[in-house]
Amino acid sequence: ARQSLAAPVIEGLPGGYGQRLGRRFDDAVDLSGGQWQKIALGRAYMRDAQLYILDEPTAALDARAEYEVFERFSELTADKTAILISHRFSTVRMADRILVLKNGQKVEIGSHESLLSRGGLYAELFQIQAQGYR
């Protein structure tokens, strides 16, 4: 739980680690989207798997929590294989290798820097997203 930032969420629940979660139980607590994501990451890390596949794992988190999650994610998957699906370039640029898909087909592969220097689809989309921050 500590590795995924879920510990503060769990420890803040009335029942702590024994608390039922979700809408299906009368005595349960429902969580925000970001809290659910932290719980899901904690469950994934508990398995200590050699392969992790995460699809938009921080979509409901604020920028600070997203940064912390990916710092820990990098540490926890350093000697493992991790496939991260994301449309956020702040997340994507942390990857060793980036696979760019268009209509289900591979159009580019490389590091953040190499893809930017090529001026292809990745660079185009990166610039579009970057303009939103200017």
β-pairing verdict for 98-102 and 105-110: antiparallel
Tens digits of per-residue pLDDT, 31-62? 999 899 889 888 888 888 999 999 998 888 88
pTM for this prediction: 0.77
Neighbours of 49 (CB within 10 A): 13
Q: Which residues are paired to 102 by β-bridges?
A: 105
Distance CA 22, CA 6 (A): 16
The full set of domain ranges for the chain reads 2-86, 96-133
State which fold the 2-86 domain adopts.
Answer: Rossmann fold (3.40.50)
pLDDT of residue 122: 97
List, for residues 76-118, the tens digit of each pLDDT value: 888 999 999 998 888 888 889 999 999 999 999 999 999 999 9
Hey, what are 16's tokens? 């702590």
Per the listing, tokens 């429902």 go with 30
